[in-house]
Structure 1
Amino acid sequence: MSLSKTIGFISGINECVNLFQWATSALSTLHSRWSGTQQQKLQGELLQLQSSLQRLRDTLPANYDLIDRAEWRIHEHCVANLLPNIKDAVYNADDLLDEFRWYEQKVALESNANQSPFMDFFNNMIQGSFNKVNDIMERLDNISSQLERMGLHETPQRFDKSLRPGTSSFPNERKIFGRDKELKKVMELLSVPINLTRACYKRKRNSSTADASMSTSEKSRISCFSVLPIVGIGGVGKTTLAQHICNHPQVKSHFDLIIWTCVSDDFDATRLIKEAIQSSSGKEATTDNLNCLQLGLSNIVNNKRFLIILDDVWDDALKENGQCWERLCLPLENGLQGSMVLVTTRSSKVADGVSTMDPFTLDGLKDDIFWDFFKLCAFGSQSSNNDPDLEDIGRGILPKLKGSPLAAKTLGRLLRMNLQIPYWNNILLSELWDLKQEETDILPALRLSYMYLPFHLKRCFSFCAVYPKDHKFEKNILAEIWVAEGFVESDGGFPILDIGHRYFEDLVSRSFFQKVRGTYVIHDLMHDMAQLVSKHECFTIKELSDFQKVPRNVCHLMILDSRNFDCSNLLSLCEHTKLRTLLCEKSLISNITLASVMDRWCSELRHIRVFSCVSLKEIPMSIGNLKHLRYLRISKKCPFHCLPPEICWLYKLKFLYAIKCALESLPSDFSKLINLQTYESVGFAYYRMKNLLVVAGNDRNVRLMKNLNQFCGDLDIYPRGFSKDLAIEIDLKNKKDLRRLTLNWLFSSCKNNEIVLQVLQPPTNLKCLEVAGYGGEYLPCWSNNGSISVFPSLTDLAISSCEKLSSLDHFLQADYMPVLERISIRECANVTSLQTERFGEFSCLGDFTVSNCPKLFHNSGSLSVPTLKNLELRNSGILLSNIECSSLTSLSFKCVHMTAIPIQLLSDCQPSMAS
C-alpha cells in the first residue's frame, strides 16, 4: 500500500484520538447523569474502542496491499472467491473509520453550543461499536490468513507465464487477414523497398553490400537508429502483424540481421541483450556482466543493417527515468544507416517515450474482412454454405467484437462447440464478460493491461464499469467522483482535484480511455474487461430483469432510464446497504410515490458517498443520514427552491451541483459544510479558491451568498442597484476566510453608494481589497468593535475609477491597515488630498502607484518611506517637495510636477522619463 494511503489512515485515527479525548472530557462534565459505576464502565468502553481502532489502523494498509497482490492471481479459483470478501471487509473498516471522522467534525463544529454531539456519539458509536470493530478485525484476520497461506504475502507482481506465453518470430497464423494496407505501410516506415523487380532489388542489395565493405571513414553510418512503435489495445493483432513483417521476403532481403525478442513485463536489459545475442549467433551468452554483453551485441550489429523486434513492451521499459531503455539501446549505435527497432506495445506512453518517429496505431479489422475472419473462427470456413440462421446470429454478435481478431477467436471457439440456434442466441444476448473464457482469450488478455496498472489507477478504472458502454466521460466530473470515492491520494501541496486530472490523463496515455471527436470513451472490449474485474462491485441496471442480478454487496450502481421501472423496483435496492455510489438516470419527480424513493434511499443506504440523479421532486430531510456523502449532483430542473437544513449535517460534502435548480436561499448553517469545494445552481457558482461572481442587483444570488461563509477564495461583487437591505443580506463581514475582495460599481450613479459600501464591510482577515467605480465622496471608516486595526492582514489596496472621491486622508491610515505592502490609486479625477508625508508610518509599503489623478495636489507634500522599492507617478498633479526612499529601485513618472528630487535618486533608480 502506498505511503500516502497509510498516512491517510493514520491521520484519520489521530482525528479519532482527538475525538476520544473530547469524549472523555465530556464524560467528566456530565457525571451527574450517571452513577460512578456507570461512568467507570463507559470510560472502559471508550478505552477499548480506541484500542480496537488503533489495531485496525495497523491492519488496513497491509490488507490493501493484499488486495493488490490477489488481483495478480485472480485466475486462480480459490483466490478469486476470497478477493470480493476481503474487499468487502476493508470497505466496512473504511466506513466505520469514516463515521468516526464525521463525529470528530461534528464535535468541532457543535460541541461548544450544546451537549447533543456527545449524546449522539454515545448512542450511535460507543455502545456496541467496539464489537463492530472487533468483528471487522476478526473477519479481516481470517481472510488475510487464508490468502497468505496461498502464498499471497510473497506473490511477485508479474505476469503468470500461463497468462502471457512468450512469442517468437514464427507467425501463429499462416494467413494474415485484412492487414495488407497496414503491412505495406509499416514496411514503408521501415524503409523496405516495395514492388521492386527481383533484378532491381538484387542490384540495390549488391550496392548495399558494397557499402558495407567500405572502410569506416567511407561508410554511411548513423549515431542513432530509428524506433517505430506499433501501438494498440490487447488482442488487436500487433504481434501477428510484426511476425508477418519479420518473415516477409523483402524484409529479410533488406536487413542483414533480424532479431526477435519477447519483452513482456520484465524489461531487464541484461536478459534482453543475452536473448538478442543468442538469437543472432545461436550461442548462449554465459556471462551476466552487462558491459561484456553490451560489447558482444555491439560487435554483432557492427557494420550491419539490422531489424530488432521488441514484442509486448510495457511501462517498465521507461523506469529509472529511461535508463533501462538506454542500456538496451547503447550497443546498437554501430549499425548501418537504415537500421530499425520495431516495438509493439499497448501503451501510448511507452510509444511516445521510445519512438524516434510517429507511432503506428493498429485499429481493429474492418467490415467484410472481419466478417470473413469471424466465419473462419466460428465455422472453420469462409464458405457461404454455412447455416444462414447461424450466420444471421453471428452478424448480430460481430459488433461486440470491435474488429479484434483475438475477440473473434474467443467467440468463435465458443460458438463452434455447439452449432445450435438456442446456444448461439444465448451467446448473442450475453455480455462478453459473462462468458467463461480460456486464459489466452480476449478478456484475460486485456486483463493484463489492468493488472499492470498502479493500485490507485486500478481503483479508478474499474469504477468506470458502472457506466454503460459508449458513455462519454468528462475529465473533471470523473476526477471529482474519484476524489469523492477516496481513490485519489494526496501528493504534497498539489490540489487533490489536479491529481485526479493527472490520473485521468495517465489512463488515457495507457489506452484505457480513447479521445473521440473531442470527448473520451472506453473501448467496448476494455469496458467488458472492466466489468470482469469489478463484477462484484459495479453494476448497471438497464432493464427490469437486472434488478434480480444486482450483486449482493454491490458498491457502485447506475440505474438507466426506463419506463418499466416502478417504485417497488427502485425500493428493492434498499437491501444493498453497502452501496457507495448511486447514479440514477431515471427522474424521481413524476409522481408522489416515486418521489418517496429518495427519502427511503437516504434513510437506508447510509454509506453512499456519491449520489447523482437527473431530477427530484425535493431533497428530503433524510439526506442528513448520509454522513459519508461527498458528491451530490442533480442535473435537470427541479421544482424545489431551497435545500433542507439537514443538508448542513453533511460535513464531508465536497461537491454540490443543482445546475438547473433555481434555488433562492441556502440554509442558515450552510457554512458548516467546511469541506465544500464546489457549489452550482442557476446563475450562481462557487468554486473554493477561485473567483466567485455575483451579478449586480440579482436578489436570489445575494441571498444564496448570505450563508456561504466558508468561502475562502477571491470574491467579485457588482453592487450596482443594490439596496441597503440587499447589501445586509450578503453578510460580508462574516466571510472570515475571504482572501481577495473586489467591489465594482461599474460607474454607477446611484445615490446610495455610500450607504451600501458602509454596509458591505469586508471581513477583517482580508488580504486584498479593490474598490472600483464607487460614486461616493468618501470611503467609509469601518469599525471593528472599538479596535483601531480593522484590517490587520491587508497587504494590497487598489482604488480606481471613483470619479466623485475627493479625499483618502481619513481612510489611508497606518493604524487602520498596518501591514499594507502595495497601494494603487488610478482614474480618480477629483481626489485633491493625499497626506503622503504620513506614508512613512506604513512600515511594510513597497509599491506606490498614482495614475490619472490630475487634481491631486499638496503644497508641502513629501514622501519618506524607507521600505519603498517601486514608485510610479503618471498623469497626476501631485507636487512633492522631497522624496526620501532609501530602498527605491524603480521610479517611473510622466507629466507630473515634482520638486527636490535628488539627482542621486534619479541616477540610482534609472527612472523612465516621458516627454
Structure 2
Amino acid sequence: MVDSLISIAVEKFNTILQDEVALLVGVKNEIEKLFETFTSIQAVLEDAESRRVKDRAVKIWLEKLKEVAYDVDDILDEWMTENLRSQAAEEGDGSCFSFIVICFLSPLTCFNHVMFRHRIGSRIKEARGRLDDISKETRQLGLSVASGERERVDSEVKKDEIRKRETSSLVDRSSIVGREDDKNEVIDLLLRESSQEVTEVPFVISIVGMGGLGKTSLAKLVYNDEKLKGHFDIKMWVCVSEDFDVKRITKLMIESATESACNLESLDLLQSRLREFLHSKRFLLVLDDIWSEDRRMWDELRLPFQAGALGSRIVITARSEKVAMAMGNIHMHKLEALSDEDCWLMFSRSAFGDQSAEERLELKEIGRGIVKKCGGIPLAAKTIGSAMQLRRTRRQWELVLESETWNLVDVMEGILPALLLSYYDLPPALKQCFAYCSIFPKDWELEKATIVKLWIAQGFIGSDTSEDMEEIGGLYFDDLLRRSLLQDAEMGSNGSIFSCKMHDLVHDLAQSVAGNDCLIVGMTQQANLNLNKVHHSFIFSSSMFEVTSSSSTFHKADKLRTLLVSHGSRVFPPKLEMSLMKQVRISICLHKLFHHLQCLRALDMTGAKIVKLPRTVGQLKHLRYLDLSYSNIEEISAGLINCVNLQTLILNACEWLRKLPREMRKMISLRHLELERINNLSYLPKGIGRLSTLQTLTKFIVGGNHGVDGCDLGELKHLNLLQGSLDITQLQNVSSQEEAREAELYKKRHLHTLSLYFNYPTYGEEVGDEEKRRTEGVLEGLRPHTNLKELKIWSYRGSKFPEWMGDPSSNLIRILLYDCSECEQLPALWNLPMLQDLGMFGCPLLAEKYKEGGEDRPRIAHIPSVRIF
C-alpha cells in the first residue's frame, strides 16, 4: 500500500515541478530533494513488503513511511488546491487577469499568497527531515532493491493488458465442483417428511465449516435447485452476518418474501406482518452467515415461524458449531475440504486460461503441488489459480510453490497463505484499492460506481489523455473480480457489473493489510476508541447526533480521510424523523466536526437528519466526495464552493432541498452531481454549463419559478461528457425550437437514458394551436444522439412526435410516453431495429389506434413488449 501512496505523491511532484512561475526557488529545491528521497526508498519497498509479516522492525518502518507519505500528500494537495482556487476565481470573474487585478488592488492578497508558499516550503523541509531518517534505517534493516528473482506485475496497472484479459476475466459463479453429494444430502433433508417434525419450530439444517469452504455456495445451489420448485409456498434468503439484529432480520425476511420494501419500524408490527405471510404456508428460509451464539436472540426471532405449515425448513450457514447448536432443533451438515482432485479442477479452470496443452502438461506437476498447499479450501484454490493466470513460465510457478509464505503459521491472524500470495501479486495501485474495501462491513454490497468514486477521491487512480479516471477505476474493480478477490457480481439493467461482495476470508485479508488505516466503528462495543492513526472510518449510527456528540473522539481524528456514516439500510433508508431543535443541534456539532477533520477526502452522511451544512464545510479543502442523500437538508451552504477539489456531490432523495449554491460554477472539479427524486428544487444556478468536466447530471431544470432566473437549455451545450441518465424538466419554459437546439443533445453520445418533462399543470389539459406548434418545435430541437437506449416523454402537448424518434440508425431499446394526450400518431417506430419495449400511458388518442384490434396495431406488432394504459 505504501508504494501506491508514494506513487500518488510522485505524480503530484511532477505536476507541481512544472509550475515554474508559481514555485519559489527554495520551495522547488525542497520538492526536488524530497522527490529524490522518495524515489530511492521506493526501490526497496518490494523487499520490505515481503518481510513485513515476519519482521516487526520492518513493519514499524513501513508504518512510519506511510505516515510521512500521507503528510506529504496533504502538503502537495494543499499546494495544488491553492492553484485551483485561483482558477476558480478566474472562472467566477470571467477574466484570466483577475488574480493580477486583485494583487494590484490588494497587496495583502499577494503577500498572503507568498507567505502560503513559504509555509508550504517549511512543511516540506520538515517532512524531508523525517523521510531522511527513515531512509537511513533501510541499511540497518538490510532492505535491498528487488533482484528480480521474485517477479511481480509492473508498478502501474497496464490498462491495455487488463483489456486483453477482460474478455475472459469474470469467474463463472456456477462453476462449483465437488459439492454434488453435499447438495443432494441437504435437499433430501428439505424434502423428507420426518418424525422429528415439531409444530412450534421448523426443522433447522445447519451447514457448518471454516471460512472459504463454500458454505454459501452450497446453500445457493440448494436454494435454486429444480427439485424444490413447488414444494415450498414461500422462499426467503437473508444474509445475517455479524450483526444479529432481530428487527433488521425480520424486515429482510418480509422484503425477501414479498420482493418489495417494508417500511414498518416496530418489531411488534414486523413480526405480526411476517406471521401473516407465513400463516399455514410451508416456507423455506435460508439464514446465511450467522455468527451469534445468543440463544435468546434466536428465541425472539423464531416467534413468527410457528404460524408456518408442517414441512417448513430453515437452512443456516455458520463457521461455528456452537452457533448452529444455539438454533435448537437442527441437523448439522459439516462441510469438509475438497478432495485434491476437485481442488485441482477448480484451480486449473482459473489458472490455465488459454494456455496450450503442452504448456499445461509442463506446469501440471508444479500446479498440483500448489493445490496441495491450499488445504482443500475452494476459495484458496480459486484465488491462487486466478493469480497464476499471469504467470506463464515454469520458473514463475516454481517460485510460488517455493515461497516462504506457505510456511508461516497463523500468518496475518489466520489468513490463508494462498490469499496472502494473491495480495502480494497485486500491482501497487490495486493493493491500495483492495485494502480500502475493508472500510465496509462484511457482506456489504459494494456498488461499483460508488467504490470507484471513493477510490478517485482518495487519489488512488490517475488519468491520462486517452481515458478518464472512472473508466480506469472500473477496470481496477473488474480486475479484483477476475482475481476472485471480489465475488457474487450483480448485473445492472444495462448489462454491466453493478455490485459485488467480498468473501469473509478475503475481507479478513483486506483488514489485515490495511492495518490501522481502516476502522469500522459500532458493530461491536469498542472501548477507548482511538482514531488518531486511522485514515478511513465507517461508522454505524442511528443518528448523526450519536457520531458528532463524541467530540473528544473526533478531536483526535485529524488524519481521517474518509468518514462514512451508516444510518440504516442503503436500499431502504429509515424514515427521517427528528425535531427541529435536534436538527439545529446537529448543525452545531457538524461545525465542530469539520473544524477537526481537515484532511477529509470523502464524507458520506446518507440519511443524516441535518437541515443545513455549516459554512465551515468550506474549510475541508481536500474534500472530493460528499453524499447527503436521504437527508433533511434544505439548502447547500455557499461555503461549499470553497471546496474546489469536490468531484462528487450526491443529493438523491433530499425531499426538502430548495437551493444550490449561487456560484456553483466555481466548483470546477465537479464530475458527478446526482439530483434524483428532488421535488422541491425549482431551479439550477446559472453558470452550471461552465462545469465542463461534469459526467453525471441526473436532473436539469429549465428556467426558474417565482421570479428566479435559472438556467436555460444552452447551459447544456458544452456538457458533452454527460453519461448515464439525464432528466430535463420544466420544458414548457423553452420558447422555441432554436433554443432547444442550443442544448446540442445530439452531441451527448454517452447518455443512455433521457427523460423529457413538459410539466404542464393539469393532466389532459388542452392547449391552443400555437402552443402545440411551439411544443412540437421544442421536442424537434431536442434530438438526442443515436446511442441513446431509453427515451421517456412526459406531458407532451404536441399533436405529433418528431421524425427523429423513428430514425432507423437509432439504438433505442425502450420508449415510454406518459400523458401525451394531444398526440394522434406515432412516428415510424417500426423502423427501429433495437426497440424492445413501447409503453403509452394516459395517451387516449394513441391508445385508440394502437391497442389490440386498433387500425394501426399491425405496425407495432413486431415489438416484443407493448403496454397501453
Normalization by structure 1: what TM-score? Answer: 0.49
2:639 aligned partner: 646
1:619 deviates by 1.1
Hey, what's the Cα distance between the residues in 2 that align with 1:562 and 1:747?
37
Question: Aligned equivalents of 2:698 and 2:412: distance in 1?
Answer: 60
SS in 2 for 1:552: coil
Shift in Å at residue 779 of structure 1?
12
Residues 580 and 535 of structure 1: CA distance in aligned 2, closer, same or farther (over 3 Å): same
The partner residue of 1:329 within 351, 358, 361 is 361
Q: 2:631 aligns with which of 637, 643, 662?
A: 637
Query: Where in structure 2 are the equivalents of 1:436-447 lying within 5 Å?
Result: 438-439=410-411, 442-443=414-415, 445=417, 446-447=419-420
- Partner of 1:72: helix, strand, or coil? helix
In structure 2, which of residues 651, 668, 679 is the aligned counterpart of residue 658 of structure 1? 651
Return the offset for 1:3.
12
Give the SS at the match of 2:684: helix
Q: Residue in 2 aligned with 1:515?
A: 488
Matches within 5 A, 1:595-674: 595-614=587-606, 615=608, 616-638=610-632, 640-661=633-654, 662-674=656-668
Cα separation, partners in 2 of 1:665 and 1:183, compared to 1, 3 Å: closer
SS of corresponding position for 2:630: coil
Deviations 1:197-222 (A, max 9, x none): xxxxxxxxxxxxxxxxxxxxxxxxxx
Please state whether the residue corresponding to 2:550 is helix, strand or coil. Answer: helix
Matched, 1:583 2:575: no
Q: Which residue identity is paired with 2:21?
A: Q
CA distance in 2, matches of 1:613, 1:528: 26
Structure whose CA Rg is larger: 1
Cα distance change, pair 146–647 in 1 and its aligned pair in 2 (3 A): same
1:131 aligns with 2:130: no
Out of 131, 148, 156, which is 1:140 matched to?
131
Q: Deviations over 1:864-901 (max 9, x none)?
A: xxxxxxxxxxxxxxxxxxxxxxxxxxxxxxxxxxxxxx
Distance 1:574 1:714 in 2: 35
In 2, Cα distance between equivalents of 1:714 and 1:183: 45
Equivalent residues in 2 for 1:156-235, closer than 5 Å: 182=178
Change (3 A) 1:569 1:330: closer
1:607: how far off?
1.0
| Residue pair 1:743, 1:772 contacting (<8 A) in 2 also | no
Distance (whole Å) between structure 2 residues aligned to residue 484 and residue 756 of structure 1? 41
Instruction: Specify the alignment match of 1:103 in structure 2.
Output: 82
| 1:573 and 2:551 aligned | no
Q: Distance in 1 between matches of 2:115 and 2:348?
A: 50
Aligned counterparts of 1:824 and 1:536: Cα–Cα separation in 2: 61
Superimposed CA distance per residue, residues 603-659 of structure 1 (whole angstroms, 9 cap, x where no aligned partner): 222111111113134211111111111111123231x32211111111211111122
Compared CA separation, residues 72 and 55, structure 1 to 2 (3 A): same
CA contact (8 A) 1:459 1:487 kept: yes
Mapping of 1:230-249 within 5 angstroms? Answer: none
CA pair 765-76 structure 1, distance change in 2 beyond 3 A: same
2:541 — aligned with what? 561
1:504 deviates by 2.2
Unaligned 5+ segments in structure 1 are 24-45, 161-180, 187-231, 239-305, 334-338, 356-409, 411-435, 685-697, 783-790, 806-822, 829-850, 854-915
Deviation at 1:97, TM superposition (A): 0.9
| CA RMSD across the alignment | 5.8
Unpaired segments ≥5 residues, structure 2: 91-96, 152-176, 183-208, 216-339, 390-406, 492-498, 569-575, 759-769, 808-824, 828-869
CA gap of 1:313–1:124, structure 2 versus 1, over 3 A, is farther
Q: Which amino acid aligns with 1:509?
A: R
Preserved CA contact (<8 Å) 2:587 2:613: no
Partner of 2:509: 529
Distance 2:481 2:130 in 1: 37
Quick check: 1:724–1:756 contact (8 Å CA) kept in 2? no
Q: Distance in 2 between matches of 1:744 and 1:309?
A: 51
Is the contact between residue 655 and residue 679 of structure 1 (CA under 8 Å) also seen in structure 2? yes
Q: Tell me, in whole angstroms, the C-alpha distance in 2 between the residues paired with 1:447 and 1:154.
A: 22
Letter in 2 for 1:677: R
Deviates more, 1:137-146 or 1:57-66: 57-66
Shift of 1:310: 7.0
Contact 1:315–1:347, Cα closer than 8 Å, also in 2: no
Correspondence list, 1:35-184, <5 A: 46-64=24-42, 66-74=44-52, 75-110=54-89, 112-113=97-98, 114-115=102-103, 119=110, 122=113, 125-155=116-146, 182=178
Deviation, structure 1 residue 487: 1.7
Task: Give the drift of 1:475.
Answer: 2.0
Structure 2 residue aligned with 1:498, among 455, 471, 474? 471
d(CA) in 1 for partners of 2:370, 2:658: 65
Tell me, yes or no, if the aligned pair for 2:346 and 2:382 is still in contact at 8 Å.
no
Equivalents in 2 of 1:717, 1:529: separation in Å? 40
Would you say the 8 A contact 2:461–2:472 is kept in 1?
Answer: yes
CA contact (8 A) 2:622 2:645 kept: yes
SS at match of 2:144: helix
1: CA distance, partners of 2:503 / 2:727: 50
Q: 1:128 to 1:148 in 2, by over 3 A?
A: same
Seen in structure 2, the aligned counterparts of structure 1 residues 234 and 780 have a Cα distance that, compared at 3 Å, is closer
In 2, Cα distance between equivalents of 1:459 and 1:705: 39
Higher relative contact order (CA 8 A, sep 6+): 2
User: 1:479 Cα shift?
Assistant: 1.8
TM-superposed deviation, 1:715: 8.7
Change (3 A) 1:441 1:621: closer
Whether the 8 Å CA contact 2:674–2:696 is kept in 1: the answer is no
Are 2:485 and 2:506, in contact at CA under 8 Å, matched by a contact in 1?
yes
| Partners of 1:606 and 1:718 in 2: CA distance | 32
Q: 2:449 aligns with which of 468, 476, 479?
A: 476
Q: Report the counterpart of residue 395 of structure 2 in structure 1.
A: none
- Does the aligned pair in 1 maintain the 2:736–2:777 contact within 8 Å? no
Deviation at residue 762 of structure 1 after TM alignment: 2.5
Distance 1:473 1:747 in 2: 35
Shift in Å, 1:83 = 1.4
Larger mean Cα displacement after TM superposition, 90-99 or 666-675: 666-675
CA distance in 1, matches of 2:515, 2:29: 35
CA displacement at 1:79 relative to structure 2: 0.6
AA at the equivalent of 2:447: E
Q: Could you tell me how far apart the structure 1 residues matched to 2:730 and 2:651 are?
A: 33
Change over 3 Å in CA distance of 1:331–1:145 after alignment to 2: closer
**Structure 1 residues 86, 328: closer, same or farther in 2, change over 3 A?**
same
- Residues paired across the two proteins, number: 548
Kept in 2, the 8 Å contact 1:595–1:617? The answer is: yes
1:547-595: per-residue Cα shift (whole Å, max 9, x none)? 6242532111122216894755244212221111111236997454443
Q: Read off the aligned partner of 2:439 and give its amino acid letter.
A: V
Q: What letter corresponds to residue 70 of structure 1 in structure 2?
A: A
| 1:730 matched to 2:714 | no
* Matched letter for residue 448 of structure 2: K
Cα distance in 2 for residues equivalent to 1:562 and 1:743: 33
- Structure-2 separation of matches of 1:747 and 1:664: 16
Paired letter, 2:562 = T
Partner of 2:677: 683
CA shift digits 1:652-697 (9 cap, x unpaired): 111111222142232122122222121123435xxxxxxxxxxxxx
Secondary structure of 1:141 counterpart: helix
SS at match of 2:644: coil
Letter of the 2:48 partner, please give it.
A
Q: Distance in 1 between matches of 2:673 and 2:555?
A: 28
